[in-house]
Amino acid sequence: LPGGMEKIKQHTFALAHYTYTVLSTLKYANGAPVVRIYSDTDFSSPDVQGPIINFNVLDENGAVIGFSQVDKMASLYNIHVRTGCFCNTGACQMHLDISNEDVKRNLQAGHVCGDDVDLVDGCPTGSVRISFGYMSSFEDAQTFLKFIIATRLSKLDTEIPSQSSAAKLMTESVPDYYPSFNKVDNLSPVPHISNRELRSNSATNSTGNWEPPQAETESIRAAVSETAVPTCRRGGKPITVTSIYLYPIKSCSAFEVTEWPVGNQGLLYDRNWMIVNQNGVCLTQKQEPRLCLVYPSIDLKQNVMVIRAEGMDPVSVSLEENTGKETVISESKVCSHRVKTYDCGDGIAGWFSMFLGRPSRLIRQSSDMKNRSHQKHTKGPGSAANVSLSLVNEAQYLLINTASILQLKEYISARLEEPLEIEELIRRFRANIVISAPESFEEEEWAEISIGALRFQVVGPCSRCQIICINQQSGERNKEVLQSLSAARGKKTNFGIYLMNQPLHSSLPHVLSVGSQVLPVLKENTEIHPPTPSEEKCSG
């Protein structure tokens, strides 16, 4: 860009002005706008408006779709956005109409800076921002607009402008002082995008739609609506544990067991190790999908972890913690949490570097940091706060319900040419505990559960990211799973619940076993009452 800062200003503002103009025209079939743009200007002059657009996405009824939801969907299209209040609380309060009392209420609801609590009682706590720089191109602006159209609009939702009107819109939306944009022949119109184009832009032959047609969406939401779950279904099918998985190495493949010891951090050795790059930054399947092809297994008798991968010789790592004087304790990060770790040596580092094709090292959590505690707000007696965590993101355990998986599977399979197998879906959600309950999504109504002698507090729902789009057997990505989950659940991508250990009141061995009965207590209850002999087969 010859011409210095003035030319850069014109270039970036032209991109923002064009995107702003097209965004402003997008409407649903009922005439409702697709986005709400927050701005103090009309994008007419770069002297008073920078090359950014701040907005929230709306549904067809005008309700705001949370910024964390938009962020997750954008990541499927390789688009990076900034979300939240952008370190500008005053502007956030002004444009979102948030009062001082609302700020206090949001804080009480657990919302803090940088989290994904994007809606409180349906009201937004922040917004989405896109920014253009000197390296941004017209194709970047088109990619973003295609993303909004693909995920919010179907061909039945709105009349997309014709190619000629789109070209006219594009040229009219570009300031006169940027002549290179006034060559209509050089522009590829954005608003008219066929379903075939959307499919070709996707990793699979999915439709690319964020939500299905309205009637289909309503039927799905009705099927998974939150309803009161009876404390005990007399004569009903009991709830049992069907599968147990641990993930010794964070973001690597699951290790399935039929029974397993429970420690003070959750399942013994669950996420005790993780892989980092040459800068010590944790690698996950988001950056390196092939991590799912690394298969660690724990041999308690031999006291080793054996790691396998296709084309590689198996390698072993001792379960004994290295506490020698030569051990160097370093500080790493898991999400926003700081953890103390130590390196597992050059041998295993070479193994991972060769398999992943990039410099990588295996590190393990140090016992010096075994008191890393859960920081979320919890309520009620026996709060799970200050419970020790391993290298997990949120909580000690993640539980999913097979009935909920089946509900989602039916919907996803209808949108794919080749239906997903139930086992593949279960593995995509990377749970520790899989249960079989009679009703889909009833687990979201629970406050606590007991499994044998073990008692757990429900910390909250698990908000899903793009990792569920990765086939855990092949490492291939598929946008459809997250998009279908978003469509089925409304404005959130919650699936599964987080659990924390409750104090144990039993002398029985602390072991979690497949086949054990699950006894839940609802959110409005405070205690778990053991079933009487006549209620032994109740689901709890």
Beta strands in 21-133 (DSSP E): 35-38, 52-58, 64-65, 82-84, 119-120, 123-124, 127-131
Six-digit token string for 306 = 């054996």
Q: Which runs of consecutive H residues, i.e. helices, occur in 135-251?
A: 138-152, 163-172, 195-201, 214-223
- Give the active site residue among 87, 113, 252, 465: 87
The burial class, CB within 10 Å (0-12 / 13-18 / 19+), for 537 is middle
Sign of CA dihedral 188, 194, 200, 201: positive
Closest CA to 367 of 276, 448, 264, 440: 264
Please give the angle made by the CA atoms of 114, 71 and 102, to the nearest 5 degrees.
45
For 185-303, where are the alpha helices, taking DSSP H only?
A: 195-201, 214-223
Tokens representing residue 471 in the block: 């086939």
Cα 213 off chain centre by? 23
The DSSP secondary structure of 499-536, one letter per residue, reads EEEPPP---S--EEETT-BEEEEETT---PPPPPGGGT
User: Running DSSP on this structure, what letter comes out for residue 174?
Assistant: S
Query: CA-CA distances (angstroms) from residue 217 to 122, 149, 323?
Result: 19, 18, 55
CA atoms within 13 A on the CB side of 305: 25
| Burial tier of 30 (Cβ tally within 10 Å: 0-12, 13-18, 19+) | exposed
Whole-angstrom distance, CA of residue 503 vs CA of residue 270: 19
Does 87 qualify as catalytic in the annotation? yes
Q: What distance in Å separates the CA atoms of residue 134 and residue 328, rounded to the nearest whole number?
A: 43
CB 22 within 8 A of CB 145: yes
Instruction: Tell me the C-alpha distance between 173 and 175, whole Å.
Output: 7
Q: At what angle do helices 67-76 and 480-489 cross, to 10 degrees?
A: 160
Q: Where are the beta strands (DSSP E) in 284-326?
A: 295-299, 304-308, 315-318
Distance CA 283, CA 276 (A): 5
Q: Which amino acid is at 39?
A: S
Q: How many residues does the chain have?
A: 540
**Residue positions annotated with a catalytic role:** 87
